[in-house]
């Protein structure tokens, strides 16, 4: 399920998210296959997406506003929460037509005038009574229960306690304000309907007909062109629903070679302005132009215009939209304005940012999805301005990490720096592959499919020179229930057999595996990498074992001027004198990997043998009751 498209809907779960197994799984090759889970800042187009507003900080002098005003505001919030109706009453019984909320009706570029009620009705009629519909109902009930519990907690807080939360939230906001840095200049370049645009470029006749990129009605759309969007057709929508919305819809099979070629062409342009630009996906890039603007005496507006013109020329006619601001988050939001083939640059000042955010729906912010949006709405928050005004509620009810994120969204603070500067993790977090198919309980087919996914993950790890310490699987039943299991390996490895065996063992050990285990998706993920760009921990211990700091310093001085040697396996440079020792280290790790694989195979064989014995014993015992005495 791929989302190559214009706007990034995110997938929010906020502070109420449940802890689970490594739940933000994404296929990094196609920028789309996001595994289930409602992580705080996950991108999940097909199930969880992201918007909010009210009054902003223009009237709020942090820490200096009148105490009487503070008490009055707190009293109002307390009264509103203590008299609030239960979620079921406030919303009314969830109607079938409304069940899907904004999953498929949250407007992407080109969908502003779509008849939302018609889309909801068609989706309901097409899915009512299906396992997918039942699964959506279960998720809706879970969310409702979580909101009810949160509201109960809020009603139990006394007015005095609310005053404390109000004061603490003001202090947090003041501290956050002190970190605001408006000196940076970020542009986000987002290709317009990328996959569909590539197909239209190859076949201009498609420009005038509604078209979706997917294998067919039984597949999920990766994107849709702007003609199809007028009917409510969009990325991540099942093909059969898209066909009901637009009977004349034409399906075009994805051609990733074509998309990768176009993506490379656009990236040559981005690199001219920022050699270290951050590729968000095949069709999106975060470009810092702070240094470029200073050196060339230009502005973000002019640079954005240049990039758009050069991308169109480099790709042979593809257009992009550009957003600009002093942070990556703000630039990302702005890139969705004036689509397609447009730009929107937010003035890099505190005042302009707060004014912009005051009326901005929270769902527009990356990281706020369907679930989090509904939670915020239940507490009277629709915009970033609302969020700022009612921040004390979320400090009291949400986790510290979630509150920090929401406060940053409300104030427009955060992501001003590169991930490497701010201490964010920049390395690859995981490699995953999954596939959806017609529901089946055929064990041979499921084993073969899981083996195929695990093999693909292992081979990709090898190509990236990554070794994983953890393997996880994802199984989705025909009822759309999701099972996720993980195991820690004996040591870091990218050995195909080890990863395959670990994945198969996880699936076979699942208690519910059996005749009733009907699956529609299997997937495998490798994570917790032993990054080769870091100094191998065990090698460092060997080199420095029993050496004093003085001896180490002298050794480093002696080897500084030695000829360098580059290892072909890990691409790291060493003095010639360390060549043999380093090669021995690689050889030892390979032996360990072989040993780990053998151990894994032995354990798997033993588990099968034990299971067979237990089954045979159970049959023997059962036969005793059938023998006539």
**The residue to which tokens 């699936």 are assigned:** 507
**The residue to which tokens 């000042």 are assigned:** 349
**What is the CATH architecture of 430-529?**
2-Layer Sandwich (3.30)
pLDDT at 589: 64
Instruction: Give per-residue pLDDT as tens, 451-470.
Output: 999 999 999 898 888 899 99
Beta strands, E only, 384-454: 430-440
DSSP class per residue in 309-363: HHHHHHHTS--EEEEEESSHHHHHHHTTTT-SS-EEE--SSHHHHHHHHHT-BGG
Residue 218, Ramachandran bin (φ over 0: left; ψ between -120 and 50: alpha; else beta) = alpha
183-348 maps to CATH 3.30.300.30: no
pLDDT at 477: 87
> Would you kindly state where each structural domain of the chain is located, as residue ranges?
1-178+367-412, 183-348, 430-529
pLDDT at 85: 45
**The residue to which tokens 């002093």 are assigned:** 326
User: What tokens appear for 329 in the block?
Assistant: 């988050």
Radius of gyration of the chain (CA): 28
For the 1-178+367-412 domain, the top CATH level (class) is mainly alpha
Percent of the chain with pLDDT over 90: 45
Give bridge partners of residue 288 from the DSSP assignment: 186
CA dist 558 and 122 (Å) reads 75
pLDDT at 629: 43
The candidate with the shortest Cα–Cα distance to 215, out of 251, 246, 243, is 251
Instruction: Give per-residue pLDDT as tens, 200-209.
Output: 999 999 999 9
Residue 618 pLDDT > 80, yes or no?
no
When comparing pLDDT for 33 and 95, which is higher? 95
Q: Is the pTM of this model over 0.85?
A: no
Residue 176 pLDDT > 50, yes or no?
yes
Question: Rounded mean pLDDT of 177-187?
Answer: 95
- Confidence band of 87 (pLDDT split at 50, 70, 90): very low
Residue 199 pLDDT > 90, yes or no?
yes
pLDDT at 367: 86
Contact between residue 293 and residue 303 where contact means Cβ atoms under 8 Å apart: yes
Helix (H), strand (E), coil (C) string for 121-183: HHHHHHHCCCHHHHHHHHHHHHHHHHHHHHHHHHHHCCHHHHHHHHHHHHHHHHHHHCCCCCC
Which of 66-75, 114-123, 191-200, 397-406 is least confident?
Answer: 66-75
DSSP class per residue in 477-515: ETT--EEEEEEEEEEEE--HHHHHHHHHHHHHH-TT-ST
Residue 474 pLDDT > 70, yes or no?
yes
Residue 148 pLDDT > 50, yes or no?
yes
User: What tokens appear for 279 in the block?
Assistant: 């590729």
CA dist 218 and 212 (Å) reads 13
Which residue numbers are catalytic? 284
């Amino acid at each position: 399920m791929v989302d190559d498209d214009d706007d990034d809907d995110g997938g929010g779960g906020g502070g109420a998210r449940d802890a689970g197994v490594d739940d933000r799984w994404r296929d990094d090759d196609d920028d789309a296959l996001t595994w289930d889970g409602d992580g705080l800042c996950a991108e999940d187009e097909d199930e969880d997406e992201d918007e909010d507003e009210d009054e902003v900080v223009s009237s709020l002098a942090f820490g200096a506003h009148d105490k009487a005003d503070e008490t009055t505001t707190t009293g109002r919030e307390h009264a509103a929460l203590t008299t609030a109706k239960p979620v079921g009453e406030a919303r009314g019984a969830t109607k079938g037509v409304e069940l899907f909320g904004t999953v498929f009706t949250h407007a992407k570029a080109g969908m502003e005038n779509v008849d939302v009620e018609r889309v909801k009705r068609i989706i309901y009629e097409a899915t009512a009574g299906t396992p997918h519909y039942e699964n959506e109902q279960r998720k809706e009930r879970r969310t409702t229960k979580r909101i009810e519990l949160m509201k109960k907690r809020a009603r139990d807080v006394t007015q005095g306690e609310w005053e404390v939360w109000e004061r603490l939230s003001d202090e947090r906001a003041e501290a956050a304000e002190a970190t605001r840095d408006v000196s940076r200049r970020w542009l986000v370049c987002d290709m317009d309907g990328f996959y569909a645009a590539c197909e239209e470029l190859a076949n201009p006749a498609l420009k005038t007909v509604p078209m979706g990129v997917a294998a067919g009605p039984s597949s999920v759309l990766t994107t849709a062109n702007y003609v199809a969007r007028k009917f409510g057709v969009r990325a991540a929508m099942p093909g059969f629903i898209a066909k009901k919305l637009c009977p004349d819809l034409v399906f075009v099979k994805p051609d990733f070679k074509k998309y990768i070629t176009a993506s490379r062409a656009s990236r040559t342009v981005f690199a001219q302005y920022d050699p270290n630009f951050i590729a968000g996906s095949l069709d999106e890039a975060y470009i810092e132009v702070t240094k470029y603007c200073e050196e060339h005496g230009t502005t973000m507006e002019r640079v954005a215009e240049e990039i758009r013109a050069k991308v169109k020329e480099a790709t042979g006619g593809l257009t992009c939209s550009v957003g600009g601001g002093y942070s990556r988050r703000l630039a990302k939001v702005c890139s969705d304005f004036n689509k397609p083939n447009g730009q929107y640059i937010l003035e890099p000042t505190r005042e302009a940012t707060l004014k912009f955010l005051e009326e901005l729906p929270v769902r527009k912010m990356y990281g706020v999805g369907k679930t989090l949006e509904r939670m915020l709405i239940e507490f009277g928050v629709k915009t970033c301005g609302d969020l700022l005004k009612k921040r004390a509620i979320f400090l009291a009810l949400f986790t510290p990490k979630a509150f920090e994120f929401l406060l940053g969204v409300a104030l427009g603070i955060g992501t001003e720096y590169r991930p490497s500067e701010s201490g964010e993790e920049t390395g690859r977090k995981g490699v995953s592959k999954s596939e959806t198919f017609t529901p089946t309980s055929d064990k041979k087919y499921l084993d073969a499919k899981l083996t195929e996914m695990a093999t693909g993950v292992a081979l990709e790890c090898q190509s990236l020179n990554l070794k994983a310490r953890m393997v996880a699987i994802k199984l989705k039943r025909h009822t759309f229930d999701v099972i996720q299991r993980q195991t820690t390996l004996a040591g870091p490895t990218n050995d195909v057999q080890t990863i395959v065996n670990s994945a198969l063992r996880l699936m076979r050990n699942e208690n519910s595996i059996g005749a009733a285990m009907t699956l529609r998706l299997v997937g495998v993920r490798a994570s917790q990498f032993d990054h080769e760009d870091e100094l191998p921990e065990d090698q460092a211990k060997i080199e420095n074992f029993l050496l004093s700091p003085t001896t180490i310093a002298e050794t480093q001085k002696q080897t500084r001027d030695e000829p360098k040697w580059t290892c072909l396996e890990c691409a790291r440079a060493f003095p010639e004198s360390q060549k043999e020792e380093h090669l021995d280290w690689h050889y030892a790790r390979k032996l360990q990997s072989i040993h780990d694989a053998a151990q894994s195979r032995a354990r798997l064989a033993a588990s099968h043998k034990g299971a067979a014995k237990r089954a045979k014993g159970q049959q023997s015992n059962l036969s005793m009751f059938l023998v006539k005495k």
